[in-house]
Amino acid sequence: MELLDKLEILADSAKYDVACTSSGADRRGNGRQLGSCEPAGICHTFSADGRCVSLLKVLLTNICAFDCSYCVNRRSNDVPRAAFTPRELAELTIQFYRRNYIEGLFLSSAVLRNADYTMEQMIQTLELLRGEYGFRGYIHAKTIPGADPALVQRLGFLADRLSVNIELPSEKSLRLLAPDKGKTAILRPMGLIASRSAQAGKELAVYRSAPRFAPAGQSTQMIVGASPETDCQILRLTQGLYQKYSLKRVFFSAYIPVSADSRLPALHTPPPLLREHRLYQADWLLRFYHFSAEEILDDKTPDLDPYLDPKCSWAVRHMEYFPVDVNTADHSQLLRVPGIGPKSAKRILTARRTGRLDLEGLRRLGVVLKRARYFIVCQGFSGARGSREETARALLDPAAFGLGCQQLSMFEAPAVQALRGQGMPALEAAKTVREEAVSCLVKAM
């Protein structure tokens, strides 16, 4: 098979993997070798569905020994198959780099023969890049569940970031949809990477020349919508992964139906992109706003509101915390206010040392007053006096209704999609669902 044909097959097979980031590594060019790993030097592009992906994101092979029902590359699926040799992929990466197409490599793979053999092929590829070609650019490598720990360790000294895809949010779903994988086979390498990264950090503190192990950390990916878990279960698992394995990111991938299977959503089911979007917003609250998963969702409220971002949803359910006086509130209180982010909270704390803040001052500091004004008081402003309906309309996320900005229609709420599927015009469907959402939110307030 020609190299270009392999590239076409294996790049297309990699498009379902969204965990493609390049932050956290700072290896600079040295004038003698190829590439640089400074964050600003990594090229990215945006795919048609809004995902940020590396320009060279490819599988080593899509020939798979596993039969995961949700995967397009599963053993039983009739698709074109191909495999790079380590030399082919290394040379392809360098050729792309020299043509200024890419600045880094995102390498994943199906399970060729078995986990250990696949990992050995990936390691050979990276050894060629780092050793023979002297490539210093960013490399993100996916570890194969069930591989020998020694192979995981070797891979970690070659790549900048490692990831182990947890795929499904519960062991029950994993047994049902991915019988060849097991919870232990996924979590064991996560633990190994976490412990080895911590050890490498201690060694670097003593010896500056100590080898660096996955300096950009590790991440994972969960498929959303292929199995029946609630958002509450997903967020609790996400929080646990951050706490136990020191993950840099947990990525969520809306399930795209690729096969007819009674265990999976029907082929015509739209990918739950709005749900994926809300989970990313909730993940942001966990990582930067000091929320816990239990605060965001609980057994009484198991799923995220499709019409409100998670922070607004929490605020509406906890109006007893508001209004917050921005001139006296501490940092944690400011972070709970919709429209105030980590940067604007720090700016508020700095600015109020020299005087009391009013609405115009908050606007200059980057506060989104469209939402924040309903939850704060400040100099010359004692709180918004609008009706509950006015407040509800201001807080609802317009992206959920596909109004005003066509490029955001990918995040339309399922109710809007359902009405459009019944033949209702798009604008009328969006307005109908929005009015219902306003009515429900007014009652909740």
Question: What's the confidence (pLDDT) of residue 408?
Answer: 45
User: Do the domain assignments include residue 291?
Assistant: no
Task: Give the closest residue to 365 by CA, choosing from 355, 374, 288, 375.
Answer: 355
User: Do the domain assignments include residue 103?
Assistant: yes
| Rounded average pLDDT per 10-residue block, the chain, 445 residues | 85 72 62 65 54 74 91 88 94 89 87 94 96 90 92 94 91 90 90 92 86 90 93 96 93 87 88 92 95 94 93 92 94 95 95 94 94 93 82 85 56 83 86 87 80
- Unique residue bearing structure tokens 């082929």: 267
* Bridge partners, residue 382, by sequence: none
Q: 3-class SS at 76?
A: coil
135 with 14, same domain: the answer is yes
338 with 407, same domain: the answer is no
399 with 375, same domain: the answer is no
**Which range marks the domain in which residue 367 is found?**
310-379
Q: 3-class SS at 286?
A: helix
- The answer to whether the CB of 363 falls within 8 A of the CB of 413 is no
* Bridge partners, residue 325, by sequence: 377
71 with 160, same domain: the answer is yes
* Bridge partners, residue 167, by sequence: 222
Question: What's the confidence (pLDDT) of residue 428?
Answer: 87
Q: Show the tokens assigned to 176.
A: 């049902």
- The answer to whether the CB of 163 falls within 8 A of the CB of 219 is yes
**How many angstroms separate the CA atoms of 183 and 195, rounded?**
18
8-state DSSP, 159 = -
Chosen domain end from 193, 221, 249: 221
Chosen domain end from 379, 399, 420: 379
**How many angstroms separate the CA atoms of 182 and 92, rounded?**
34
355 with 401, same domain: the answer is no
Question: What's the confidence (pLDDT) of residue 218?
Answer: 92
69 with 139, same domain: the answer is yes
User: Do the domain assignments include residue 300?
Assistant: no
User: Do the domain assignments include residue 265?
Assistant: no
57 with 82, same domain: the answer is yes
Question: What's the confidence (pLDDT) of residue 44?
Answer: 63
Buried b (16+ CB within 10 A) or exposed e, 389-427: eebbbebbbebbbbbeeeebbbbbbebbbebbeeeeebe
390 with 375, same domain: the answer is no
User: Do the domain assignments include residue 301?
Assistant: no
Type of residue found at 307: Y
- 3-state DSSP helix/strand/coil % of the chain, to nearest 5: 45, 10, 45
User: Do the domain assignments include residue 55?
Assistant: yes
Total domain count for the chain? 3
Chosen domain end from 173, 193, 221: 221
Question: What's the confidence (pLDDT) of residue 407?
Answer: 46
Question: What's the confidence (pLDDT) of residue 49?
Answer: 55
100 with 13, same domain: the answer is yes
- CATH, residue 179: 3.20.20
**Residue 268 C-beta-side C-alpha neighbours within 13 Å:** 3
User: Do the domain assignments include residue 410?
Assistant: yes
Question: What's the confidence (pLDDT) of residue 406?
Answer: 46
- Helices (DSSP H) in 128-227: which residue ranges? 149-156, 171-177, 183-206
326 with 401, same domain: the answer is no
- Unique residue bearing structure tokens 């197409």: 101
Query: Structure pTM?
Result: 0.88
User: Do the domain assignments include residue 257?
Assistant: no
205 with 91, same domain: the answer is yes
329 with 440, same domain: the answer is no
